[in-house]
Amino acid sequence: MPNMADITVKKADGTTDIVYVALAPSGGDNTPATWRVESIGTVAGNRPVLTVKSRGSKDRLARIVEGTLSYPEVYTDTTTGVTSVRLRELFSWTSVVRTDALDATTAEIVAQAPNLMKSVLLQASMKAGFAPQ
């Protein structure tokens, strides 16, 4: 199993790095590992948070990994100076990895799935909120 570590990814501009700082490792099945972007804002509750948890399937033929990214839209009240969260955008995923699959098959889907999420078409679909037509 992988060890907890910070995760660095590119922001929407394609050049700027953003770091999801490792806060808490998973304690085992159904206990999420948690990361937070510490470089945004001055209030911890107003920052992006990533959680990932895993568990075995009921029939024990697969491992299920689920993740959620919660990304807040923050604003500052111009009269009070108080910063608040207006809404949270959510992105979640589920990966079901069969324990009886060949390592090469698992490696291929694990490589292709995030690359599909990086495709221009799927990103445009998610931004628009509609499937391609």
83-94 pLDDT, tens digit per residue, is 889 999 999 999
Q: What single-letter DSSP state applies at residue 15?
A: S
pLDDT tens, residue by residue, 36-47: 999 998 889 999
Assign 64 a pLDDT band (cuts: 50, 70, 90): very high
Average pLDDT (112-121) is 95
Dist. CA 80–CA 123, nearest whole Å: 37
Residue 8's pLDDT band, with cuts at 50, 70 and 90, is: very high
**Residue ranges of the domains in the chain?**
7-100, 101-133
pLDDT of residue 29: 96
Residues 6+ apart with CB under 8 A from 1: none
Q: Is the CA virtual torsion 121, 122, 127, 128 positive or negative? A: positive
67-87 pLDDT tens trace: 999 999 999 999 998 888 999
**Tokens 């700082």 found at:** 21
The whole-number pLDDT of residue 44 equals 92
pLDDT above 90 for 1: no
Main-chain dihedrals φ then ψ at residue 52, nearest 5 degrees: -135, 130
- Decide which of 2.60.200.20, 3.40.1280.10, 3.90.1150.10, 3.30.380.10 is the CATH code for 7-100: 3.30.380.10
Strands (E), the chain: 7-10, 17-24, 33-36, 49-56, 62-76, 83-98
